[in-house]
Structure 1
């Protein structure tokens, strides 16, 4: 019953999001995409988080607006969100999550305002997370079946990981650590460490790095050609005002967030009036 009610909430919210957009979408995500689509070049509001955070998602939304219209771009974030749910269920099955556990996962995802807010707002986090979960899903599928990960799959893993990083540059370290830990568990957990296994692990990393190179080069070239600097996504950070930016730097707020973390991730948004 809870799952049915939560699903109804999701369906109603999807219909609402197709006719209106929420606060960050108005200020950043879809506004920058529409500016880019209308101007036929990378366009964004002065000194916002476009360059540092939402460049790739804005480009994709701009392309969707140009080809299919604004409504399709607004639904794109929901497609990413549903993909996240599907990948989460697949990963859960791979790691042995029970049927009841998978149902609870669905209930939590469908009733958590932290997740639904991202979907209705067109957040870049959804797109980046979908890429990252695709990487985890591919690795876990092979781990679960005790199969060798072939070179073309490793290249695809690297390619998806690369897009997860360039879509949200702040996640580069996180995605890299997750991939490294999963591979270390695959090759060395419960196995004898020998030269042949180390060599196989090194070759695996090389194939993944080869896949990452493509998205990384694309991102650097795009920044260089259209924004004037290959590292514009780094240098632009100094132009963002931390007072009006999308982060909380107040020590009291940070302390409360840590103490009430389960409630914060479920109900808190970064909306500023």
Structure 2
């Protein structure tokens, strides 16, 4: 398979992944959405189906859709290390395209939400002044695009992402590779989707389970660039954790596979 085939397949597949995954976050977040406050179970299943759809679309390239999976497969031997940058580039571009599509699909909801006084008015202290200590570090719609911790503790947040990603990548590797050796087959993609749902329900509570560097970084970049009123900050101080954690987790999973199952 050529580098251009890999790049195009991963770009389109990851774009669909982020469109559907970010879309369910938007649907649950915005008051003017029919799925408003549908809850965490809806988000977990929405992301699982997003993975399934993106994986089927990007089957030609092995449907990594995730640099952590790419790293794990490279360590396992499923792909050549020379192909890794091509996968990374397609995955990041696709994630950004998908995030832009979420914004376009929910354009009216974004504007209505960000002009709601309940959303844009920061908390105030006893003297009527803004209490900076209580002001949110992230913008009011960043959760539609990227993850954030419920308790901001860098080492715990990092460990959570590492553990969750180990589960994901190890599951992918042990499901068995397709005939071309680059990823799981059609049935494997379905099973991986259920693994993602399980991770969301079991391990997603602390950090929102990025388990994918570009799932967080690409949309976070788009959030920073979009001309949205009153959107607030993009929380770049946290942004390294959902990138480093999954990459470390993917590498560890690849190592575990080589030691225990190869």
What TM-score, normalized by structure 1, do the two folds share? Answer: 0.25
Which structure has more relative contact order (CA 8 Å, sep 6+)? It is 2
Larger Rg, first or second structure (1 or 2): 1
**Which structure is higher in helix share?**
1
What TM-score, normalized by structure 2, do the two folds share? Answer: 0.26
